[in-house]
Amino acid sequence: MTLEERRRGTRRVYTTEIVIVLLLSLGQSAAYAIVSLAAKLTAAQPLAQQTAVLNAPQSARPYLDLTRQLLGIFFELIPVALVLFLLWRDHIAPSRELGIDYRRPRFDLGWGFGLAAAIGIPGLLLVYVSLQLGINAQIVPSALAPYWWTVPVLILSALQNAILEEVIVVGYLLTRLRTMAVSPASMIAISAVVRGSYHLYQGFGAFIGNAVMGVVFAIFFLKTKRVMPLIVAHSLLDITAFVGYQLLPDSWLDWLTV
């Protein structure tokens, strides 16, 4: 077998692996998001008058709801374990190659807070503009009842989202695409489109905003080879949105839905 034949074989194997991983995780979410958006667009109400709930109750019984929330968070992280294993099997150390470690805490926290601010502030403006243009549903970050465990669960949910998305859509996906000799521009575009696609259930504005975030995060990873700052930034964004929506008075949130 020639070197070129081995390369083509490797590309086929990794392409198949990527498709399977995405279909088990965020690709599956993207498929459901597209169906959800189609349902919203064909409903009687305009898109801007509909809602997209991010953390919904799983049961009317508090402790059953808590159990299901925790199980959901746990099983959502299984694809992360899968991709880390796949990389480790190919002698790629995730701690080093993906920057998932604690070797550079100041760098990770500093860039994490900086990226969160750079993404979050324009993101709020985009949400407002998208609603005014009618291209986004009203986002409800949390519809959970105010139990003692609600805020901890919302924080865990935010951490789960950050770990799942940044490890798979940035660290794993870009590492595999780079091995397949995909051009940097194509790698960034693929990562950004995948990220935007599983947010389509919220509307077109969410797709645009998350795709832009995907471009920024992909470029950052390609330059630094560190996922940890991205996990920090994403966690901060989601914790602020989830917990803030849960705790702030309704009057403070009205401007997002007018």
What's residue 249's pLDDT? 66
Q: Is 199 helix (H, G, I), strand (E, B) or coil?
A: coil
What's residue 128's pLDDT? 86
Strand blocks (E) in the chain: 51-53, 138-140
Q: Is 250 helix (H, G, I), strand (E, B) or coil?
A: helix
pLDDT in tens, the chain (258 residues): 666 667 777 889 999 999 999 999 999 999 999 999 999 999 999 999 999 999 999 999 999 999 999 999 999 999 999 999 999 999 999 888 999 999 999 999 999 999 999 999 898 899 889 989 999 999 999 999 999 999 999 999 999 999 999 999 999 999 999 999 999 999 999 999 999 999 999 999 999 999 999 999 999 999 999 999 999 999 999 999 999 888 876 655 555 444
- Per-residue H/E/C for 82-122: HHHHHHHHCCCCHHHHCCCCCCCHHHHHHHHHHHHHHHHHH
| DSSP 8-state symbol, 55 | S
pTM over the 0.85 mark: yes
Domain extents in the chain? 3-256
The Cα 40–Cα 70 span in angstroms is: 29
Query: In 3D, which of 167, 157, 162 has the Cα closest to residue 95?
Result: 167
